[in-house]
Amino acid sequence: MIKWIVYLLLTILLSYPCFASETGGVTIFDFSDPAALTGWKCVDDEVMGGRSQGDISWEDGKAVFSGYLSLENRGGFSSVNSPVIKAELGDYAGMKLRVLGDGRIYKLTLQGKRGTSGYFFQFDFPTQQGEWTEIECPFSEFGANYRGLNLPFIPLALSKIRTTGFLLSDGKEGPFRLEFEWIRLIHTFSPER
């Protein structure tokens, strides 16, 4: 009977959209399958008259966020947002990403209600040109932001977070490209962090 219950519990857990990683956390987005891009949407500064253009695509087992950042018409941002995260973020200490960048500084974002013009939370991370990097993003280091204005008095309430994403707003006009293989929720961070 106990074996059957354990089997049933494992079957339920493994059928959940998140699955365990070797670090003890869970992978919430695994881009080895192009279906993982379903529901991801780009939002650029065109919503306020800017001319930046971003796109999200799939190439050889990874997601690619790429485009052109324009500073025309007081623009200067491009972003991509996930579908709803199907995990309790409050059970974890942060997120971990595997990315290949272009040397620019990107932001990992967390939002409450998708598609609203309200504030969101962001974590800045540098990328190395042509080098795969695993980035650890502690929830304690995310800061609130509203249209480029930092809001340090607003705490991050993980129970209200619905989506994640990436944002480029480094003030440098030109092409950009960020590749990512997976996004995980993690309990602990590496000692070298």
The yes-or-no verdict on residue 141 having pLDDT over 50 is: yes
Let me know if residue 4 belongs to a domain: no
Let me know if residue 1 belongs to a domain: no
Let me know if residue 12 belongs to a domain: no
Interatomic CA distance for residues 91 and 82, integer angstroms: 20
3-state helix, strand, coil in the chain (%, to 5): 20, 45, 40
- The domain tally of the chain equals 1
% of the chain residues with pLDDT over 70: 84
pLDDT bracket for residue 25 (50, 70, 90):
confident
pLDDT at 114: 52
* Host H or E run for residue 166: strand 163-168
CATH of the domain at 164: 2.60.120.430
| Structural domain containing residue 94 | 19-186
pLDDT tens, position by position, 26-66: 999 999 999 999 999 999 988 778 899 999 999 999 999 99
Q: Please compute the mean of the pLDDT values over residues 98-108 and round it to a whole number.
A: 98
Let me know if residue 63 belongs to a domain: yes
**pTM score:** 0.84
103-129 in b/e burial notation, b at 16+ Cβ within 10 A?
ebebbbbbbeeeeeeebbbbbebebee
For the four alpha carbons of 13, 15, 16 and 18, in that order, the dihedral sign comes to positive
